[in-house]
Structure 1
Amino acid sequence: MTLLYPSFLWLLLPLALLLWSSPRKVMHIIHLIVLMLIVVTLSRPVQEEALQEASIEAKDIIIALDVSYSMKATDISPTRYDFAKETISALLQANPGDNIMLIAFTTNPLLLSPPTTDHALINVALENLNPEFILTKGTSLEKLFKKLASMKMGHKNLVLMTDGGEEEKLEKLTTLVQNADISLTVLALGTTRGTTIKNQDGSLLKDKEGNLVISRVNPLLESLASSVSGAYFTASNTAKATADNLNDALQNNASKVQSVEKMQRHYLELYQIPLSLALLLFFIVHTRAVKYLLILFTLLGVQAEASMLDNYHLNLAYKNYQGSDFNETKKQLKQIKIRSLQSQMVLANTYYKQHAFKKAIQTYKSIRSTSPQIKQQLYYNIANAYAMLESYDKAKIYYTKSLQLGEDKDAEHNLHLVALLSDTKSADLGIAHPKSQDSSSSKSESQEETKESKSEDEPSSGSGGGGESQTQKEQEKSKLLSDGTQEQHPLGSKVYELINKGYIREKQPW
């Protein structure tokens, strides 16, 4: 057991002092005990449950930060680089649920933080990046866009924070952005007048001929944003105002909202116990119907599988599912705080109905049960989804697993069908769909409501279970990502070597 708000326990100190110093009157003592139980209730005792994978709706946003030497210029206070960092922090706060990736780039791009909804990790990576160790003086937008094009992420929302360097390849950069499927938002850091740049020793940076280097914002950035129908911004008076402008541009982009899988910790609420005791004590001393109250609190103490509110949303999800309103079904399922077998089964069936077969498979495999009937149904549904994806070999495996747990005419029929399709797929004979959850047996809708709830959260047993479990490394990684108390390690020298790679051959750093 743990407390989510342990700071409330400080209120027990004055109550304990009153209890110790007050006259020994029964009513007075009971009232103080009632107050103590209420304080314990406010501290919110919970029982931690295992990490569960949750699906959330989020946009994919990539923040590319220029960390080249010219970002030390002070025409934007305090420096271009520091202003960019403050803007990123404000942008993260404005988009708490989005999947954000952070890339630092000079002549070479380097991934500092992979796509994550845990923005604390991004802030850690940003704070541990020391620009003093970056020797590169150039800025290569071409290499950045090529790197983004190589990432298999689908549509990308790119927030580019840079002074632009000295690149002049507008047509080539435009083609790279379009081919990479990027919605571009540019934050141009710098002024058209430009400024000098100080070295670490306080002297001004000069070129090989001894002339002072003047760093200006590259006008190519505005032309690039215009050519790809992107948004172009310059620095506002504050980083917060600048972040608001960038956020408005991101919201206006016709970007795709995707489903992001994230490990989340769920809790079993225990506040009902001290609260029930407090109410019981109060009514014992102030009412005569004690025996009826004892029966009432006994009933309230029985832990249900889900709260009344969760059952309400689950019933609405069933109704919307039966009415084929699958978007509303998912909306209601997201309101459920404690996942149950029934809610997960309905969610997986909803994905299946929407032809999101990969998501359906993933959800079916995440369900754990020791019931052979439920596991048989899960195998059957997984096999159906693989068959719809034309992964006939995998479908045969799961139809076989389903039949190993019991006789099933539908599974047997579909097994013969996918075996035939697997053998004749190359002959292009067309696709015959196996019997789905709409058949008269309607397995996923009937069995999910009749199985006992005691099997929902128990580990899977037997050969295979409801789905493959995470490997130990994946569990350790999920634990690390969800634990905000992990020690923060500074970036190693190898990171800066990767950033600085190739800087020796630069001919025109600005």
Structure 2
Amino acid sequence: MKLLYPEFLMLFAALLYLYTRNRKPIQLYLALALMIVALSRPVMTRTLHEEKAEGVEAVVALDLSYSMQAADIKPSRLVAAKETVRKLFSENRKNRYALYGFTTNALILSPATQDYALLKAALDSIEEGDILTHGTSLSHLLQKLAQKSVPVENVVILTDGGEEQDADRLIEIAKDSGMRLIVVGMASDKGTLLRDRYGKVLKDTDNALVISRLNPILKKVALQSGGAFLRFEDPDTTAQKIAARLDAVADKSLFSHKERQYRDLFWIPLLAAAGLFLFYFVQIPKKWLLLIPFVTQTSDAAMLDWFYLHEAKSAYHQGDYKAAAEALNHVSSRTLQLAYDKALTAYKMRRFKKALSILDGLETSDARMKFKILSLTGNAHARLRAYSKARRAWQAALIIRRDENLLYNLKAILG
């Protein structure tokens, strides 16, 4: 949008007319009214974007029992499971997910949807401190899903398995209702002690220490239901493996996703209000007013760049990487930070080759930025399984600064 568009010229003409008349309080009232209009964030519908794509519909069930607060998976089983689910949702936008939480009972947190913002809000509503229920019932979860009017075919369960013992019963429920279970084991075989919120070790009724470990029946239940069993590794890797398993075993459906795009108009009444205040309180030679269109012409690009950068940042934090990339493409300035942001957004959209093509041309003497560029370069190469290139990039980054995540990644590819 340009400030010399007709809507701005009309405002400029109106302001010029008001200024040539005697200054009256009505100008102040009009300015306040325009500020109120600006605060209401007026918009104009620009386009209705419809996107059709094949995807998978699945239920994601998250174990919310007290044992999921155990720390044999850092920082806790529940935090790691939530981050895995967040990665799964954000990086597989073509799929449609429903989110459930379960302990001894199951609760739907979000219906089946492709709305990532809704799924993220439901996921963020889960707080460790609010979970007090001891016990996990996979049978209640599967029975609840089996009773749905629309058959559920694909179920992803992130759990430590609790004290569930009747594997045959779980397999029977899954098979009778046609459910394929992809189970992610969110605990270690060795297990760990459970503690209360004050750090005191929990004991059972016989005064024995309570140790929570991975339930061994989970693998049998998952495989015999026609699904898969996965052990938690890290959020990124585990989310990728879940998505790959869903793609391998699930039937795809054609989903239609509609998104209405809007054009923000708040800046028009805001600019008019600022002009009215300026004209009321400041004596400006009338001939200077003729320079305003030329001044705004030069400041237009900077204002639009700020607007698009703000839109890109907001979309990125909401996990809408496509919208973030589109906003960044509208920025007219060419800076190193902008190029890095474009590469990072491409990486988040799983366009690793595009990210590398942007990163390859970036050079800087700033150590902080160089570290970020090398780290992202290594990550992109690793995603493309170019492990030797990833190793070189990460090693170069570690020369600049020690980073535990990079060290972990480096050890992983070196075996």
* Deviation of the 1:256 alpha carbon: 2.1
Residue 137 of structure 2 aligns with which residue? 140
* Deviation of the 1:102 alpha carbon: 0.5
Question: What code does the residue aligned with 1:101 have?
Answer: A
Residue 62 of structure 2 aligns with which residue? 65
Residue 95 of structure 2 aligns with which residue? 98
Distance 2:162 2:114 in 1: 31
**1:162 corresponds to which of 149, 159, 164:** 159
Alignment of 1:194 with 2:194, yes or no, is no
Distance 1:53 1:252 in 2: 27
* Deviation of the 1:206 alpha carbon: 1.2
TM-superposition CA deviations, 1:30-76 (whole Å, max 9, x none): xxxxxxxxxxxxxxxx9516868876533111110000000011111
Question: What code does the residue aligned with 1:57 have?
Answer: E
Alignment of 1:233 with 2:243, yes or no, is no
* Deviation of the 1:78 alpha carbon: 0.9
- Answer yes or no: is the 8 Å Cα contact 1:94–1:247 preserved in 2: no
RMSD over aligned Cα atoms:
3.2
- Answer yes or no: is the 8 Å Cα contact 1:185–1:246 preserved in 2: yes
TM-superposition CA deviations, 1:443-462 (whole Å, max 9, x none): xxxxxxxxxxxxxxxxxxxx
3-state SS of paired residue (1:148): helix
Residue 126 of structure 1 aligns with which residue? 123
**1:114 corresponds to which of 111, 114, 120:** 111
Distance 1:50 1:150 in 2: 40
* Deviation of the 1:133 alpha carbon: 1.7
Residue 150 of structure 1 aligns with which residue? 147
* Deviation of the 1:152 alpha carbon: 2.7
* Deviation of the 1:196 alpha carbon: 0.4
TM-superposition CA deviations, 1:168-223 (whole Å, max 9, x none): 11111111111222121110011111100111111111112222100011001011
Matches within 5 A, 1:24-103: 48=45, 56-103=53-100
3-state SS of paired residue (2:213): coil
**1:173 corresponds to which of 155, 170, 173:** 170
**1:247 corresponds to which of 209, 234, 243:** 243
Matches within 5 A, 1:262-411: 262-265=257-260
- Answer yes or no: is the 8 Å Cα contact 2:188–2:213 preserved in 1: yes
3-state SS of paired residue (1:250): helix
3-state SS of paired residue (1:110): strand
Alignment of 1:256 with 2:251, yes or no, is yes
- Answer yes or no: is the 8 Å Cα contact 1:155–1:256 preserved in 2: no
Question: What code does the residue aligned with 1:147 have?
Answer: K
Alignment of 1:222 with 2:219, yes or no, is yes
Q: Percent identity?
A: 36
TM-superposition CA deviations, 1:344-374 (whole Å, max 9, x none): xxxxxxxxxxxxxxxxxxxxxxxxxxxxxxx
* Deviation of the 1:153 alpha carbon: 2.8
Matches within 5 A, 1:426-437: none
Question: What code does the residue aligned with 1:257 have?
Answer: K
- Answer yes or no: is the 8 Å Cα contact 1:170–1:220 preserved in 2: yes
3-state SS of paired residue (1:205): coil
Residue 469 of structure 1 aligns with which residue? none
Residue 179 of structure 2 aligns with which residue? 182
Distance 2:242 2:54 in 1: 20
Runs of 4 or more, structure 1, over 6 Å off, are 50-54
3-state SS of paired residue (1:167): coil
Distance 2:261 2:71 in 1: 47
Q: TM-score, normalised by structure 2?
A: 0.51
Question: What code does the residue aligned with 1:125 have?
Answer: A
User: Structure 1 residues 266, 123: CA separation in 2 closer, same or farther (over 3 Å shift)?
Assistant: closer
Question: What code does the residue aligned with 1:265 have?
Answer: R
Question: What code does the residue aligned with 1:194 have?
Answer: G
Distance 1:70 1:56 in 2: 39
Distance 2:172 2:210 in 1: 31
Distance 1:227 1:110 in 2: 25
- Answer yes or no: is the 8 Å Cα contact 2:59–2:152 preserved in 1: no
Question: What code does the residue aligned with 1:146 have?
Answer: Q
Question: What code does the residue aligned with 1:192 have?
Answer: D
- Answer yes or no: is the 8 Å Cα contact 1:166–1:218 preserved in 2: yes
**1:213 corresponds to which of 210, 213, 222:** 210
- Answer yes or no: is the 8 Å Cα contact 1:66–1:161 preserved in 2: yes
* Deviation of the 1:155 alpha carbon: 4.7
Question: What code does the residue aligned with 1:61 have?
Answer: A
Question: What code does the residue aligned with 1:148 have?
Answer: L
Distance 1:262 1:125 in 2: 20
Structure 1: any 5+ residue segments left out of the alignment? 10-45, 269-510
Matches within 5 A, 1:487-506: none
Distance 2:90 2:46 in 1: 28
Distance 2:226 2:153 in 1: 14
What is the count of residue pairs matched by the alignment? Answer: 230
Question: What code does the residue aligned with 2:260 have?
Answer: R
3-state SS of paired residue (1:222): helix
Distance 1:212 1:191 in 2: 17
3-state SS of paired residue (1:57): strand
* Deviation of the 1:266 alpha carbon: 5.5
3-state SS of paired residue (2:112): strand
- Answer yes or no: is the 8 Å Cα contact 1:61–1:158 preserved in 2: yes
Distance 1:87 1:260 in 2: 24
- Answer yes or no: is the 8 Å Cα contact 2:58–2:152 preserved in 1: no
3-state SS of paired residue (1:144): helix
Structure 2: any 5+ residue segments left out of the alignment? 6-42, 264-415
* Deviation of the 1:116 alpha carbon: 0.7
Matches within 5 A, 1:1-12: none
TM-superposition CA deviations, 1:230-249 (whole Å, max 9, x none): 2111111x211111111111
